[in-house]
Copies of this chain bind each other. A is one copy, B any other.
Amino acid sequence: MSLSKLKLKYLRSLRQKKFRDREGKFIVEGFRLTSEALASDFPMELLVFTDDFLGNPDHARLVHRARERKIPVEEVSRRELDSFADTVTSQGVAAVIGKHRYSLDDILKSNRGGSSSMRERRPQVVVALDGVSDPGNVGTIIRTADWFGACGVVMGEGSVELYNPKVVRSTMGSIFHLPILPEANLLKTLGELRKQKFVLLAASPSSPKSYLDVPYFQRTALILGNEARGVSAEVSKNVEFVVSIKRLGNADSLNVGVSCGILLSRFCQRDGSP
């Protein structure tokens, strides 16, 4: 079996940001991400797989579930798949997904994980990206925010595109778990978060103030900056705290995803308090 030329052209076009923008669609690859997409509220427009994919019963069930939900399913050749897939070994499955348009309200209303009484006590944390540019870093940050039950992620101007295949892949499925605002107006969004009683906290390796010396807040917005330039001056002057993670050795810097994990491990859980 084979895809129509038109459909193949469409799938290939989605490798480019401008077509993802225009169509409001993106591609996920591999069994795990495709399964996560199918289990989410994101609309699946098309599922494609190679004939060897069905050999595994879990894989066959995924295709069966998609068919039950009236999602168009098509078999493709390995060569066709490789022509629009980003990964070399894409496990023989991919899907076209419609973008989900979240608003800041979705983030503010998201009460993630735990019982309702626990939720009351648990701090609410929003992660904001000020020009984080490496796809792997952004994916890792989203995955880490998901692990620690953050309310959502705000991606300011100059950050890498959320639907970049490498970002999608390195979220390990978390792109489907929590509200994310791509291409947000960062200063405006931070202003709105402040009105909602979020304390704004920017990470900067050059700050003399350790994150361990900042008290807990019920609502924190954690701002992470570009890998080379850090958080912009305009954002920094509008935050309550600029904090660093104290260097005890000789490395020039910490990876921004690692920094995100260290800061979330503190600000998302009260029992991490000093």
Contacts and interface: CB of A to CB of B under 8 A. Distances in A.
A112 B250 CA distance: 8
A143 B255 contact: yes
Interface string A246-264: 1111111111011111100
Given A255-B257, A259-B261, A249 B146 contact: yes
A270 to B, nearest CB: 10
A177 B251 contact: yes
Interface string A98-134: 0000000000000011100000001000000000000
A135 to B, nearest CB: 12
A92 interface: no
Interface of A: 112-114, 122, 136, 140, 143-150, 172-174, 177-178, 210, 212, 245-255, 257-262, 265, 268-269, 271-274
24 contacts: A112-B250, A113-B249, A140-B258, A143-B251, A143-B255, A146-B250, A147-B245, A147-B248, A148-B247, A148-B249, A149-B249, A149-B250, A172-B251, A174-B250, A212-B272, A246-B269, A255-B261, A257-B257, A257-B258, A258-B261, A259-B261, A262-B265, A265-B265, A271-B274
